Homo-oligomer: A and B are copies of this chain.
Amino acid sequence: MKAKELEQLLHKEIPISQAMGIEVEHLEKNTISIKAPFEKNKNIHNTAFAGSIYTTATLAGWSLLTNLLRENNLTGSVVLAKAEIRYLRPINSDIVANATLNNLTEIERLVSDQSSHPRLKIEQRIDLVEKNIIKAKMIAKFAIV
């Protein structure tokens, strides 16, 4: 998929992503960057809302794996099983979530051989970054079913 195509998919299929104003900034087979604009995603302290930070991160992780399946012409679905997030410092502007599949070759091998892994789990680390500083860190475990 192209970034714009993914963005339209998210807005169509996950209505709250449209309400959040989610933008797919960058998409390659092994890396993604997703943004949520500040004004729609702020909290009572006038910093980025913890729920929106989490959601932007999960959308990045989910999208990267969903794109990988599509690029490999596979039909599986990506489902979030578990996630942990640590908020290190407040985010004072747009929320940006970056995810990278460092072990792309291994993951492609696993997802291409799903019959051997009926409930394959893939762990991803997703960073929330503002001005090159990591403001929050997520570890998410996705299942491909």
**In this assembly, does A42 line the interface, its C-beta being within 8 Å of a C-beta of chain B?**
yes
Question: Is B79 a contact of A13 with CB atoms below 8 Å?
Answer: no
Question: Is A16 a contact of B19 with CB atoms below 8 Å?
Answer: yes
Find the residue from A9, A50, A55, A80 having the highest chain B CB count within 10 A. A50
1/0 per residue, CB under 8 A from B, across A21-63: the answer is: 0000000000000000001111111000111101100110010
A50 with B80, Cβ < 8 A, contacts A16-B20, A43-B14 known: yes
Total copies of this chain within the assembly: 2
Q: How far is the CA of A122 from the CA of B54 in the complex (A)?
A: 20
Question: Is A16 a contact of B82 with CB atoms below 8 Å?
Answer: no
**In this assembly, does A107 line the interface, its C-beta being within 8 Å of a C-beta of chain B?**
no
**In this assembly, does A81 line the interface, its C-beta being within 8 Å of a C-beta of chain B?**
yes
- Kindly report which residue of chain B lies nearest to residue A39, judged by CB atoms: B15
In A56-87, the 8 Å CB interface with B consists of 58-59, 62, 77, 79-87
Q: How far is the CB of A80 from chain B (nearest CB, A)?
A: 4
Question: Is B86 a contact of A85 with CB atoms below 8 Å?
Answer: no
Question: Is B58 a contact of A50 with CB atoms below 8 Å?
Answer: yes
